[in-house]
Amino acid sequence: MDDNPYFRISAEDVKLKVPAGFPRPVYNFKTNRLTPEIFTLGRTLFYDKILSKDNSVSCGSCHQRIAAFAHIDHSLSHGIYAKIGTRNVPALQNLIWKDAYMWDGGVNNIELQPLSPITNPIEMDETLENVISKLKHDKKYVVLFQNAFHDTIIDSKRLLQSIAQFTGLMISGGSRYDRFQEGKDTFSVAEMNGLKIFRSKCENCHKEPLFTDNSYRNNGLKPDPSLKDEGRAKITGIEEDKYRFQVPGLRNIEMTYPYMHDGRFQKLRDVVNHYSNPENFDVGADRSLQKIGTLTEREKDELVAFLLTLTDKAFLYDRRFADPDFQ
Ligand code: HEC
Ligand code: HEC
């Protein structure tokens, strides 16, 4: 991995660059100083099946780069022993602006987040102790940890911090929408109308520039009885939180299908049809959805045209996030 300059990580590559117009991040790497060597360790771990019990699943198996690290075409996640999960794999992007992770906000620290998939019996089914022991017996990791931390200690804190450097730098802020905001690109009439509709009907939850306000809402989806997923209530135990899910940021939405926590919609058009159909909303639907009303076919086209401007090719093809073993 070191011999190909295209894939080598430089000091410039690990500089935290906050895109124009973005707020200050929640997690700022102050206690986990970014270095090319620690990032490279995290990157190698992210794509390594060694993190799973039978060495069959990596983070990258579920989180695909070309889908902004969601899983294209899988409505529910596929884990170890061919087990199917109960939720759709979310995109990984702009994570350092989030104050909580998962569809229900059940994890509130980016460094601790990987504990969940590693130990989940239907994702990687492994223990942290076992992972550390496997890494200590692997010559490649002995070298990678030594390069990263300049001593021979291999422990879970370092493992988790390195993965946080890799996932935390997944920043998407280079879409046509961003260039338009900076006055460096123009929108077609349809895209411009779509933006206006978005701002009057969707912005209340999908707040620019991250396209989420990090809150938990019921966006009108009727619960799927086979999944028994109570969303935010699973974490808080509060009745009103039933069927509320964290508002997802919509960047790269073109690539992250299928949509919603259970992946029930294949197309953006299906999503827009859902919002345009108030008579089908769940009883607990957020009141602000009433503002949307019934959209005309033309308005739906325009909304979708706008959503497509959120695709960030520079992020999707960013060499820093490529699997170092597939060059
Ligand atoms: C079996 C598939 C699978 C594997 C393997 C997996 N994930 Fe995930 N990941 C998911 C699913 C599904 C969710 C949503 C879980 C939920 O809401 O309960 C998720 C959520 C996340 C989130 C939260 C994103 C957000 O915006 O809230 C992060 C970060 C993440 N995964 C990183 C990782 C890392 C790092 C690894 C490897 C250590 C990993 N994942 C392994 C399926 C997977
Ligand atoms: C009341 C808050 C709210 C409003 C208003 C709202 N949304 Fe959402 N949106 C959500 C929540 C919450 C989810 C995730 C729901 C789930 O998975 O159960 C979501 C999911 C989505 C998704 C799927 C994202 C993914 O990664 O799967 C898209 C696309 C979307 N909304 C677009 C829109 C558009 C377009 C509008 C305006 C017409 C809109 N939303 C209005 C709260 C809202």
Span 151-175, pLDDT tens digits: 999 999 999 999 999 999 999 999 9
Distance (angstroms) between ligand 2 centre and the Cα of 31 equals 34
Pocket of ligand 2 (CB under 6 A): 201-202, 204-206, 217, 219, 221, 245, 247-248, 250, 253, 256, 259-261, 271-272, 275, 286, 288-289, 292, 303
Q: Residue 26 has what pLDDT?
A: 97
**Regions of the chain short of the pLDDT cut 50:** 1
Q: Residue 133 has what pLDDT?
A: 97
For all residues of the chain together, what is the average pLDDT?
A: 95
- Kindly tell me the burial class for residue 189, based on how many C-beta atoms sit within 10 Å of its own C-beta (0-12, 13-18, 19 or more): exposed
Tell me: cis bond preceding 90? Omega within 30 of 0 counts: no
CA nearest 247: which of 285, 214, 289?
Answer: 214
What is the residue with the minimal CA distance to atom 3 of ligand 2?
205
Distance (angstroms) between ligand 2 centre and the Cα of 45 equals 32
